[in-house]
Amino acid sequence: MKNLRLLLTFIVLVSIASVHMSFKNEGEIGKAIIEVQNTTKDFGKIPQGKPVTAEFAVKNTGKAPLVMENIQTSCGCTVADFTKTPIAPNQSGYIKVTYNANAMGSFTKTATIVSNAENNTLVLTLKGEVVNL
């Protein structure tokens, strides 16, 4: 009976250690990493009242699926669209940011991506000058 208790205790301890190691190894497998070649789009001079859109290619260079959860733009004059499904490791998605170009003058607008990536926020920038052409 004593040997049976000892054996059961050993099995329980090995099971707990195994579960602990699997969670530890899961964390070591890695996270998603969001990568964008160029985070700034300079439109130069653009005509007033004609919206412009920048499309950014997003690549997941990590080892887990990348989920872009939300994009916050710096003002109501800028809207964003993005890949809503998880992006597998070594695969790509997109982010499109559109500026409405209603106000004359120079502009710098941002879109902040919130994701599950190791670098969980990424800021994209649109800039240029709205002119009367």
Each residue's pLDDT tens digit, 86-99 = 999 999 999 999 99
Task: Summarize pLDDT for 18-66 with one digit per residue, the tens.
Answer: 544 444 444 446 899 999 999 999 999 999 999 999 999 999 999 999 9
- The whole-number average pLDDT for the span 7-25 is 52
CA-wise closest residue to 114 among 51, 64, 67: 67
Lowest mean per-residue pLDDT among 11-20, 55-64, 120-129 = 11-20
The DSSP code for 87 is B
Domain 34-131 has CATH 3.40.1160.10: no
8 Å CB contact between 96 and 125? no
How high is the pLDDT of residue 28? 47
The DSSP code for 89 is T
At residue 16, the 3 state secondary structure works out as: helix
List C-alpha distances in Å: 39 to 43, 119, 127. 13, 14, 11
Q: What's the whole-model pTM score?
A: 0.75
